[in-house]
A and B are shown apart, each in its own frame.
Chain A
């Protein structure tokens, strides 16, 4: 009953918020909006009428000198990045074209043959008798890239030609099946990948189709002893159906189907899910508008003490915030569901993007609580957008390459669009940090949703310290806050790994270890500093040591929880596991090893706390020392147990 009453109150605030929003969009605003839409619509309409719709950003960037009657003229015309120019060798010399494709007939074939060390501006690539193709390109990176683009265009043109070919066997003389196999674990995984029935089917298939090739012999004498051959034979079995089915689809369908693992050589794709990625990006676009409106309404409460009315009403702060947030959350869910329907995603896409939406909203809420003016809020929202969009989008690019891509929930969307199976572990791994971070950010913001913080002009860092301080009560609460920092630490560390993993391993591992030490030290001590600054705790050495110990303990316990979730969720995520190991997250660790990180966290947090009790400068120096100690420990663990 009490809960129901609470829901009713929240619902009332939400309705009020919506009505506030809709009255503020008065007739004049709607008129301007209508004018804008009509303006944009007419431009789009004009583009459609003139048949110019859908220009790509790389339109006409490479200029190709080619005659209109050349068979390659069509190729150039059909590729957006290429544009046809007159086939004049002088244009190539003067840098006005990048490529020169010679006429189809032998007359007037250009010859710009140059030795490698010659300083002419163009080199001839090829001049073959059969189709009399002769291409010269400018001797620059751009010229070389133009040649690659032209080559790709010819390939695509040929693909379209072959799709029209009636004799499909001649058009597609090669069929490919792509499979991925772990190199080290091949022998072990064979057992799992080989159910008995697959093996049996396979033998039958091979005998009926093949006419005594060596694959057949292998499967004949493949007793259970020869594991390797079994692995390969089982794959043959998988191959049969998709190859036939794939040729039914149109070329355009193939193009937008994302990664396929079988078909003609043109159809298999390296693990780069370009179209799925683009579609996944669509989810992020409406978020930016929603948080803009949301941040505006929160900051609005803080201007000219408008929010005081709600604050004095018989409502809890949490109710007010929940009520004000609800309409925007519903709008986000609506947008996500609509997009998911539109691009052919399913329930997984909605569930995967929901935590991203929550992260957007919670970060904007905190930003709006901290910002001093709308100008500052604009920057805060842009920062949030850029950060979250990069964090969600960039790892998803590597969806098919490495499991580290799972740090972004958007990867799940890409996987669903590609038709890959998604495990519960993967979902938990990529979304739980987002859910937790969002909840904690909301808690932080609610902490400063009070008169003394809402209506005062403090700089963002001071507001941040205030928000942390609002979470503190006694020394025990320091441990709780340290534990609550874990999701952010997790997110930041994974981001660091994602950014640094392109570097060579001998460089990236040390950097990651130091960066992780720094992130963890900040997370363990920043609230202690906030507590000292607000005079919540007495500035004594014993207090500092006590707080350090509590913080270290809280952090240690929180870290253990991530270890458990890692154990349950993703044993296959080798990179993440390896990188988190130095802090003692090894499941097989003995009791002594378990205690070591606890000691480490307590000691380093104590060092930082000692500095924090003096002032900012001492705090920074102490944290540097703590980071060095922590990094040293990380190196030690890696050295002895790595």
Chain B
């Protein structure tokens, strides 16, 4: 039984489908378009990498070697402010009794931040001065904000009697990277689903162009049926999407981003590629010309993607959950349902192609 299935699969592929698929890929190679596609993705990855490095070094003080912000504290509430700052590892407070001295220290670069405090109407007013237009600015403000929030918490604790609701105790900060999830939730879905979208787009181009230029007729003179031609084109396009996606995942893990569940991710990307490419085939046969086909395809896929992201079966979130190793049974069920949907959509589209009169295209 199993042998006959494999045999049938080989026989199915050995018909003209594989020839057409390899021809499709050869054209991509000749036109250097696939090279361009990879270059684009590399550009995206490089820019995102730049973004991540930039964000992390700007916002995560522990990643900046030996960074120490000298803070000048002055004014009425210096004592409280200093206590709050002392809790921050990357801030180092010095109290100045004279405000002018604090500003002088800032001006001469001995301090990167000034906390100027005043007590008014039972509230502590703080003026935080940060250096303008330097790379440290964001860091100083972010760290300063942490210190000020610590001051606020400390004041809440002191005024607990006046509060009708008590704020919850905060856990200690262990310097975890707040942008840790960026790689998994934004970059990874982008890299994984961009090849899928590009595959669908090329499918539309490839089919409508044959129709437009009348070369489909020539191909039809050869002893191949329309369904074989479209199968061949679709196989080629479905094939390249997961390969690209996996290459990206490999690159990411080489860069130290741990990727869990690669098998499931492969399944998810393949299923999405099947669905998107099938839709592309259907749209290019249905639409009147290339322009409307391409527009319908891209708007349609985008709409679908946005609509799906509102549901628990959100593909971007599913990919993120799988890669970051937070997948639950539900996540695996979602991937399985995508695979099932891919099967249904592909079968449906093939049924439809079977009924299309190739001579009327």
Which residues of A line the B interface, CB within 8 A? 21, 24-26, 28-29, 32-33, 36-37, 39-41, 43-44, 46-47, 52-63, 71-72, 75, 81, 95, 98, 125-126, 128, 130-131, 133, 135, 137, 141-152, 154-155, 157-158, 161-162, 164-167, 169-184, 186-187, 209-210, 213-215, 218, 226, 228-229, 231-232, 235-236, 239, 243, 264-266, 268-272, 288-289, 292-293, 296-297, 300, 303-304, 372-380, 382-383, 386-387, 390, 394, 397-398, 400-403, 459, 499, 502
Contacts and interface: CB of A to CB of B under 8 A. Distances in A.
Q: Which of A228, A239, A387 has the most CB of B within 10 A?
A: A228
Nearest to A189: B132
Contacts of B158: 173
29 contacts: A29-B292, A33-B299, A61-B184, A145-B177, A147-B173, A161-B167, A165-B165, A169-B123, A173-B122, A177-B127, A180-B132, A182-B132, A183-B109, A186-B106, A232-B100, A265-B148, A266-B152, A268-B128, A270-B59, A270-B142, A304-B212, A375-B28, A378-B198, A378-B202, A378-B205, A379-B40, A383-B40, A390-B44, A499-B50
Contacts of A180: 129-133, 137
A67 to B, nearest CB: 15
B58 A401 contact: yes
B128 A177 contact: yes
B226 to A, nearest CB: 19
A58 B174 CA distance: 21
Contacts of B32: 459
Report the 9 A-B pairs with minimum CB-CB distance, sorted nearest first: A148-B176, A145-B180, A144-B176, A173-B155, A131-B169, A265-B148, A43-B307, A170-B162, A40-B303
B174 A148 contact: yes
Contact of B172 (A55, A126, A145): A126
Interface stretch (B1-9, B240-248, B317-325, B348-356): B317-325
A170 B163 contact: yes
Contacts of B219: none
A155 B145 CA distance: 12
Contact of B206 (A60, A61, A179, A375): A375
Contact of B53 (A46, A400, A502): A502
A133 B163 CA distance: 20
A228 B107 contact: yes
Given A130-B169, A373-B209, A270 B321 contact: no
B28 to A, nearest CB: 8
Given A24-B288, A183-B109, A186-B103, A151 B296 contact: no
Nearest to B319: A57
B129 A170 contact: no
A172 B123 contact: yes
Contacts of B162: 167, 169-170
B191 interface: no
Given A40-B303, A57-B316, A181 B131 contact: yes
B344 interface: no
B225 interface: no
Contacts of B171: 125-126, 133, 135, 147, 150-151, 154
Contacts of A137: 174
Contacts of B103: 186, 228-229, 231-232
A296 B130 CA distance: 51
Contacts of B47: 390, 394, 499
A159 to B, nearest CB: 9
Nearest to B208: A374
A114 B51 CA distance: 36
B289 to A, nearest CB: 5
Contacts of A373: 31, 205, 209
B307 A265 contact: no
A5 to B, nearest CB: 31
A223 to B, nearest CB: 13
B311 interface: yes
A58 B28 CA distance: 35
Given A25-B288, A382-B198, 8 more contacts: A36-B304, A72-B168, A158-B167, A162-B156, A173-B122, A383-B36, A387-B43, A499-B46
B358 to A, nearest CB: 17
Interface stretch (B11-19, B86-94, B113-121, B262-270): B113-121
B170 interface: yes
Given A151-B171, A157-B168, A215-B118, A61 B298 contact: no
Nearest to A380: B36
B168 A394 contact: no
B128 A271 contact: no
Interface string B172-213: 111111101100111001000000001001100110110011
Contact of B180 (A21, A55, A130, A141): A141
B317 A59 contact: yes
Given A58-B320, A126-B172, A379-B36, A402 B133 contact: yes
Nearest to B156: A173
Contact of A57 (B54, B300, B320, B325): B320
B261 interface: no
B126 interface: yes
Given A144-B176, A375-B202, A502-B53, A215 B75 contact: yes
Contacts of B104: 228
Contacts of A390: 43-44, 47
Contacts of A215: 75, 99, 116, 118
Nearest to B330: A60
B140 to A, nearest CB: 9
A181 B106 CA distance: 9
A24 B116 contact: no
A176 B128 CA distance: 7
B336 interface: no
A300 B294 CA distance: 13
B326 interface: yes
A179 B128 contact: yes
A71 to B, nearest CB: 6
A25 B141 contact: no
Contact of B213 (A60, A167, A271, A304): A304
Given A44-B307, A57-B320, A75-B168, A239 B127 contact: yes
B159 A303 contact: no
Contacts of B328: 60
Contacts of A210: 118, 120
A213 B99 CA distance: 11
Nearest to B286: A32
